[in-house]
Chains A and B, each alone.
Chain A
Amino acid sequence: MKTYIKIALFIVSFIALSGILAALYFYNLKHTDMAKAKPDFVITASVLQKAFEDDETAASTRYINKILEVTGTIASVNPAENNILSISLVTGSGISSVICTFPAIADPSKFSTGHKITLRGECSGFLMDVLLNNCAVIQ
Protein backbone atom coordinates (compact mmCIF):
# COMPACT_ATOMS: atom_id res chain seq x y z
CA MET A 1 0.00 0.00 0.00
CA LYS A 2 1.25 3.43 -0.90
CA THR A 3 2.12 5.78 1.93
CA TYR A 4 -0.45 8.41 0.99
CA ILE A 5 -3.25 5.84 1.02
CA LYS A 6 -2.15 4.75 4.50
CA ILE A 7 -2.18 8.35 5.64
CA ALA A 8 -5.60 8.94 4.07
CA LEU A 9 -6.98 5.78 5.72
CA PHE A 10 -5.56 6.85 9.05
CA ILE A 11 -7.13 10.30 8.78
CA VAL A 12 -10.52 8.91 7.74
CA SER A 13 -10.61 6.37 10.57
CA PHE A 14 -9.46 9.01 13.03
CA ILE A 15 -12.33 11.31 12.02
CA ALA A 16 -14.84 8.45 12.10
CA LEU A 17 -13.64 7.35 15.53
CA SER A 18 -13.79 10.85 17.01
CA GLY A 19 -17.27 11.21 15.51
CA ILE A 20 -18.43 8.03 17.21
CA LEU A 21 -16.83 9.02 20.51
CA ALA A 22 -18.40 12.48 20.38
CA ALA A 23 -21.83 10.96 19.60
CA LEU A 24 -21.47 8.52 22.50
CA TYR A 25 -20.38 11.33 24.79
CA PHE A 26 -23.41 13.48 23.98
CA TYR A 27 -25.78 10.51 24.02
CA ASN A 28 -24.69 9.57 27.53
CA LEU A 29 -24.44 13.10 28.84
CA LYS A 30 -25.72 13.30 32.41
CA HIS A 31 -27.93 15.94 33.96
CA THR A 32 -26.14 18.74 35.77
CA ASP A 33 -25.27 17.73 39.32
CA MET A 34 -26.96 20.47 41.32
CA ALA A 35 -24.84 19.82 44.40
CA LYS A 36 -21.77 20.88 42.40
CA ALA A 37 -23.31 23.33 39.95
CA LYS A 38 -22.66 27.03 40.29
CA PRO A 39 -25.98 28.85 40.90
CA ASP A 40 -27.03 31.59 38.48
CA PHE A 41 -29.11 33.24 41.20
CA VAL A 42 -29.18 33.06 44.99
CA ILE A 43 -32.65 33.99 46.17
CA THR A 44 -35.25 33.42 48.89
CA ALA A 45 -38.47 31.48 48.20
CA SER A 46 -40.62 34.56 48.94
CA VAL A 47 -38.75 36.84 46.54
CA LEU A 48 -38.80 34.19 43.82
CA GLN A 49 -42.53 33.52 44.14
CA LYS A 50 -43.31 37.23 44.18
CA ALA A 51 -41.24 37.82 41.05
CA PHE A 52 -43.39 35.30 39.15
CA GLU A 53 -46.65 36.53 40.60
CA ASP A 54 -45.91 40.19 39.80
CA ASP A 55 -44.61 39.70 36.28
CA GLU A 56 -44.55 36.16 34.97
CA THR A 57 -43.08 37.08 31.59
CA ALA A 58 -40.13 38.97 33.05
CA ALA A 59 -39.52 36.34 35.72
CA SER A 60 -39.70 33.56 33.13
CA THR A 61 -37.04 35.20 30.99
CA ARG A 62 -34.89 35.76 34.02
CA TYR A 63 -35.19 32.44 35.84
CA ILE A 64 -36.36 29.59 33.58
CA ASN A 65 -33.59 27.12 32.73
CA LYS A 66 -31.36 28.79 35.28
CA ILE A 67 -29.89 27.16 38.35
CA LEU A 68 -31.36 28.77 41.45
CA GLU A 69 -30.14 28.48 45.01
CA VAL A 70 -33.26 29.01 47.07
CA THR A 71 -33.60 29.45 50.80
CA GLY A 72 -36.92 29.05 52.55
CA THR A 73 -38.94 27.33 55.25
CA ILE A 74 -40.46 23.94 54.47
CA ALA A 75 -44.26 24.24 54.28
CA SER A 76 -44.93 20.61 53.40
CA VAL A 77 -43.21 17.40 52.32
CA ASN A 78 -45.06 15.50 49.61
CA PRO A 79 -44.04 12.06 48.45
CA ALA A 80 -45.14 11.53 44.82
CA GLU A 81 -45.27 8.52 42.50
CA ASN A 82 -42.16 6.40 41.89
CA ASN A 83 -40.45 7.48 45.13
CA ILE A 84 -40.08 11.01 43.86
CA LEU A 85 -40.21 13.60 46.59
CA SER A 86 -41.36 17.21 46.47
CA ILE A 87 -41.21 19.82 49.15
CA SER A 88 -42.95 23.15 49.09
CA LEU A 89 -41.53 26.28 50.63
CA VAL A 90 -43.32 29.03 52.51
CA THR A 91 -43.78 32.27 50.56
CA GLY A 92 -45.68 35.49 51.09
CA SER A 93 -48.67 34.01 49.25
CA GLY A 94 -51.20 31.72 50.86
CA ILE A 95 -51.90 29.58 47.80
CA SER A 96 -48.74 29.79 45.76
CA SER A 97 -45.40 28.41 46.92
CA VAL A 98 -42.08 27.21 45.56
CA ILE A 99 -42.22 23.47 44.84
CA CYS A 100 -38.89 21.70 44.70
CA THR A 101 -38.77 18.20 43.27
CA PHE A 102 -35.90 15.86 44.02
CA PRO A 103 -34.65 12.90 42.03
CA ALA A 104 -35.71 9.48 43.32
CA ILE A 105 -32.90 9.23 45.87
CA ALA A 106 -34.19 11.80 48.37
CA ASP A 107 -35.12 10.46 51.79
CA PRO A 108 -38.33 12.03 53.17
CA SER A 109 -37.18 11.71 56.79
CA LYS A 110 -34.44 14.27 56.09
CA PHE A 111 -37.04 16.98 55.66
CA SER A 112 -39.36 18.31 58.31
CA THR A 113 -42.04 20.95 58.08
CA GLY A 114 -41.04 24.29 59.58
CA HIS A 115 -37.31 23.80 59.10
CA LYS A 116 -35.22 26.20 57.10
CA ILE A 117 -33.54 24.78 54.04
CA THR A 118 -31.29 25.90 51.20
CA LEU A 119 -31.40 23.95 47.99
CA ARG A 120 -30.34 24.22 44.41
CA GLY A 121 -32.47 23.31 41.42
CA GLU A 122 -33.32 24.16 37.87
CA CYS A 123 -36.31 26.45 37.39
CA SER A 124 -39.02 25.07 35.06
CA GLY A 125 -41.39 28.01 35.39
CA PHE A 126 -44.68 28.83 37.05
CA LEU A 127 -48.05 27.08 37.21
CA MET A 128 -49.74 27.95 40.48
CA ASP A 129 -46.35 27.66 42.11
CA VAL A 130 -42.78 28.22 41.05
CA LEU A 131 -41.42 24.82 40.06
CA LEU A 132 -37.84 23.69 40.59
CA ASN A 133 -36.55 20.38 39.29
CA ASN A 134 -33.59 18.08 39.82
CA CYS A 135 -33.04 19.64 43.25
CA ALA A 136 -30.20 18.98 45.68
CA VAL A 137 -30.02 20.05 49.31
CA ILE A 138 -27.23 22.49 50.02
CA GLN A 139 -27.90 23.19 53.67
Chain B
Amino acid sequence: MKHIAILFFLLVSGYAANAQKYMTKNGLIGFYSITPMEEIKADNNQVAGVIDAGTGEMVFQVLIKSFHFERALMEEHFNENYMESEKYPKSTFKGKITDLSSVNLSKNGTYYVTVDGDLTIHNVTNKVSMKGTIEVITGGINANSKFNIVPEDYKINIPGVVREKINKNLEVTVAMKYSPLENK
Protein backbone atom coordinates (compact mmCIF):
# COMPACT_ATOMS: atom_id res chain seq x y z
CA MET B 1 0.00 0.00 0.00
CA LYS B 2 3.10 2.21 -0.14
CA HIS B 3 2.11 3.58 -3.54
CA ILE B 4 -1.19 4.88 -2.29
CA ALA B 5 0.45 6.14 0.89
CA ILE B 6 2.92 8.35 -0.98
CA LEU B 7 0.44 10.12 -3.18
CA PHE B 8 -2.45 10.14 -0.82
CA PHE B 9 -0.49 11.41 2.12
CA LEU B 10 -0.78 14.81 0.49
CA LEU B 11 -4.38 14.20 -0.34
CA VAL B 12 -5.65 13.15 3.06
CA SER B 13 -3.50 15.48 5.13
CA GLY B 14 -5.40 18.70 5.27
CA TYR B 15 -8.12 17.43 2.97
CA ALA B 16 -10.68 19.37 4.95
CA ALA B 17 -8.51 22.30 5.91
CA ASN B 18 -7.16 23.01 2.47
CA ALA B 19 -9.09 22.50 -0.71
CA GLN B 20 -6.32 23.74 -2.98
CA LYS B 21 -5.16 20.31 -4.04
CA TYR B 22 -5.26 19.20 -7.61
CA MET B 23 -4.53 15.87 -9.21
CA THR B 24 -4.29 13.96 -12.46
CA LYS B 25 -3.86 10.34 -13.38
CA ASN B 26 -3.08 10.81 -17.03
CA GLY B 27 -0.35 13.37 -17.17
CA LEU B 28 2.36 13.16 -19.78
CA ILE B 29 6.06 12.64 -19.25
CA GLY B 30 8.08 12.05 -22.39
CA PHE B 31 11.71 12.01 -23.34
CA TYR B 32 13.54 12.73 -26.51
CA SER B 33 17.02 12.13 -27.77
CA ILE B 34 18.48 12.88 -31.15
CA THR B 35 21.88 12.10 -32.57
CA PRO B 36 22.94 11.82 -36.21
CA MET B 37 22.44 8.06 -35.90
CA GLU B 38 19.10 7.72 -34.18
CA GLU B 39 16.05 9.61 -33.00
CA ILE B 40 14.46 8.24 -29.86
CA LYS B 41 11.14 9.32 -28.44
CA ALA B 42 9.01 7.80 -25.72
CA ASP B 43 5.86 9.00 -24.00
CA ASN B 44 4.13 7.99 -20.83
CA ASN B 45 0.52 9.13 -20.63
CA GLN B 46 -0.23 7.48 -17.30
CA VAL B 47 1.52 9.86 -14.94
CA ALA B 48 -0.15 10.23 -11.56
CA GLY B 49 0.43 13.54 -9.87
CA VAL B 50 -0.79 15.74 -7.06
CA ILE B 51 -0.10 19.43 -6.62
CA ASP B 52 -0.90 21.40 -3.52
CA ALA B 53 -1.47 24.93 -4.71
CA GLY B 54 -1.44 26.18 -1.13
CA THR B 55 2.08 25.02 -0.31
CA GLY B 56 3.52 24.44 -3.78
CA GLU B 57 4.29 20.81 -3.11
CA MET B 58 4.24 18.45 -6.09
CA VAL B 59 4.41 14.68 -6.37
CA PHE B 60 4.67 12.62 -9.53
CA GLN B 61 4.72 8.89 -9.97
CA VAL B 62 5.15 6.84 -13.12
CA LEU B 63 5.53 3.23 -14.07
CA ILE B 64 8.58 2.70 -16.27
CA LYS B 65 6.68 0.08 -18.22
CA SER B 66 4.14 2.70 -19.31
CA PHE B 67 6.70 4.48 -21.51
CA HIS B 68 5.71 3.82 -25.07
CA PHE B 69 8.22 3.75 -27.93
CA GLU B 70 7.38 3.54 -31.59
CA ARG B 71 9.77 0.62 -32.01
CA ALA B 72 8.92 -2.46 -29.96
CA LEU B 73 12.56 -3.52 -29.71
CA MET B 74 13.62 -0.17 -28.29
CA GLU B 75 10.90 -0.44 -25.68
CA GLU B 76 12.14 -3.90 -24.75
CA HIS B 77 15.76 -2.76 -24.44
CA PHE B 78 14.68 0.29 -22.45
CA ASN B 79 12.84 -1.90 -19.94
CA GLU B 80 15.16 -4.86 -19.76
CA ASN B 81 18.67 -3.50 -20.28
CA TYR B 82 18.64 0.12 -19.18
CA MET B 83 15.87 0.82 -16.70
CA GLU B 84 15.56 -2.74 -15.36
CA SER B 85 11.86 -2.07 -14.89
CA GLU B 86 11.16 -5.42 -13.28
CA LYS B 87 13.54 -4.56 -10.44
CA TYR B 88 12.73 -0.84 -10.35
CA PRO B 89 9.18 -0.51 -11.70
CA LYS B 90 8.51 3.06 -10.55
CA SER B 91 10.02 6.47 -10.88
CA THR B 92 9.00 9.35 -8.62
CA PHE B 93 9.50 13.05 -8.17
CA LYS B 94 8.78 14.91 -4.99
CA GLY B 95 9.37 18.62 -4.90
CA LYS B 96 8.21 22.09 -4.21
CA ILE B 97 7.66 25.28 -6.14
CA THR B 98 10.24 27.65 -4.66
CA ASP B 99 8.67 30.87 -5.85
CA LEU B 100 5.01 30.18 -5.23
CA SER B 101 4.35 33.83 -4.43
CA SER B 102 4.70 34.61 -8.13
CA VAL B 103 1.63 32.47 -8.89
CA ASN B 104 -1.76 34.09 -8.52
CA LEU B 105 -4.24 31.26 -8.25
CA SER B 106 -7.24 33.50 -8.48
CA LYS B 107 -6.19 34.94 -11.82
CA ASN B 108 -6.05 32.90 -15.02
CA GLY B 109 -2.67 33.13 -16.66
CA THR B 110 0.74 31.57 -17.13
CA TYR B 111 3.31 31.93 -14.36
CA TYR B 112 6.99 31.01 -14.55
CA VAL B 113 8.23 28.95 -11.61
CA THR B 114 11.19 26.95 -10.37
CA VAL B 115 10.65 23.55 -8.80
CA ASP B 116 13.25 21.95 -6.54
CA GLY B 117 13.03 18.37 -5.42
CA ASP B 118 14.15 14.78 -5.47
CA LEU B 119 13.97 12.80 -8.66
CA THR B 120 14.20 9.03 -8.34
CA ILE B 121 14.93 6.98 -11.44
CA HIS B 122 16.38 3.48 -11.52
CA ASN B 123 16.45 3.50 -7.71
CA VAL B 124 18.87 6.46 -7.66
CA THR B 125 17.70 9.75 -6.14
CA ASN B 126 19.19 13.07 -7.20
CA LYS B 127 18.39 16.62 -6.18
CA VAL B 128 17.10 18.49 -9.18
CA SER B 129 15.87 21.95 -9.96
CA MET B 130 13.83 22.73 -13.03
CA LYS B 131 12.09 25.65 -14.56
CA GLY B 132 8.54 25.38 -15.74
CA THR B 133 5.20 27.08 -16.00
CA ILE B 134 2.05 26.90 -13.97
CA GLU B 135 -0.98 27.84 -15.98
CA VAL B 136 -4.06 28.75 -14.02
CA ILE B 137 -7.19 28.04 -16.02
CA THR B 138 -10.85 27.97 -15.14
CA GLY B 139 -11.43 24.72 -13.25
CA GLY B 140 -7.85 23.51 -13.09
CA ILE B 141 -4.12 23.97 -13.24
CA ASN B 142 -1.72 22.99 -16.00
CA ALA B 143 1.95 22.43 -15.27
CA ASN B 144 4.58 22.23 -17.97
CA SER B 145 8.31 21.78 -17.88
CA LYS B 146 11.22 20.79 -20.08
CA PHE B 147 14.57 19.82 -18.65
CA ASN B 148 17.53 17.58 -19.35
CA ILE B 149 18.73 14.54 -17.50
CA VAL B 150 21.91 12.53 -17.91
CA PRO B 151 21.30 8.74 -17.76
CA GLU B 152 24.67 8.13 -16.06
CA ASP B 153 23.54 10.28 -13.10
CA TYR B 154 21.00 7.56 -12.40
CA LYS B 155 23.43 4.68 -12.88
CA ILE B 156 21.81 3.73 -16.14
CA ASN B 157 24.53 1.97 -18.08
CA ILE B 158 24.43 2.31 -21.81
CA PRO B 159 27.01 0.15 -23.58
CA GLY B 160 29.58 1.79 -25.89
CA VAL B 161 28.09 0.60 -29.17
CA VAL B 162 24.69 2.04 -28.38
CA ARG B 163 26.05 5.08 -26.49
CA GLU B 164 26.71 6.86 -29.79
CA LYS B 165 23.04 6.58 -30.69
CA ILE B 166 21.71 8.20 -27.53
CA ASN B 167 22.24 11.83 -26.71
CA LYS B 168 24.24 12.46 -23.51
CA ASN B 169 21.40 14.70 -22.34
CA LEU B 170 17.87 13.38 -22.62
CA GLU B 171 15.25 16.06 -22.98
CA VAL B 172 12.35 15.37 -20.65
CA THR B 173 8.93 16.95 -21.21
CA VAL B 174 6.32 17.16 -18.48
CA ALA B 175 2.75 18.18 -19.28
CA MET B 176 0.14 17.85 -16.57
CA LYS B 177 -3.50 18.89 -16.59
CA TYR B 178 -4.73 18.85 -13.02
CA SER B 179 -8.31 18.94 -11.82
CA PRO B 180 -9.40 19.98 -8.33
CA LEU B 181 -9.51 17.12 -5.85
CA GLU B 182 -12.77 18.07 -4.18
CA ASN B 183 -14.64 16.88 -7.28
CA LYS B 184 -13.53 13.34 -6.54
State whether B26 touches A86 (Cβ < 8 A).
yes
A76 CB, min distance to chain B CBs, angstroms: 10
Given contacts A125-B63, A126-B3, contact A95 B45 (CB under 8 A): no
A97 CB, min distance to chain B CBs, angstroms: 8
- Comparing A23-31, A34-42, A112-120, the segment that makes contact with chain B is A23-31
State whether A129 touches B71 (Cβ < 8 A).
no
Q: Which single residue of chain B is at the shortest CB-CB distance from A60?
A: B89
Within A32-52, the residues touching B (CB, 8 Å) are: 32
Range, interface on chain B: 20 to 34
B71 touches which one: A27, A64, A88 (CB < 8 A)?
A27
State whether A133 touches B90 (Cβ < 8 A).
no
A101 touches which one: B45, B48, B175 (CB < 8 A)?
B45
A84 within 8 A of B: yes
Measured in the bound complex, the distance between the Cα atoms of B90 and A95 in whole Å is 20
B66 within 8 A of A: yes
The total number of A-B Cβ pairs within 8 Å is: 91
Given contacts A128-B25, A129-B25, contact A29 B73 (CB under 8 A): yes
A interface footprint on B77-120 (CB within 8 Å = 1, 0 otherwise): 00000000010011000000000000000000000000000000
State whether B72 touches A29 (Cβ < 8 A).
yes
Contacts of B65 in A (CB 8 A): 64-65, 124-125, 133
Measured in the bound complex, the distance between the Cα atoms of B68 and A30 in whole Å is 12
State whether B28 touches A31 (Cβ < 8 A).
no
Name the 8 nearest CB pairs between A and B, nearest first.
A124-B65, A81-B28, A80-B26, A84-B45, A80-B45, A124-B66, A29-B72, A86-B26
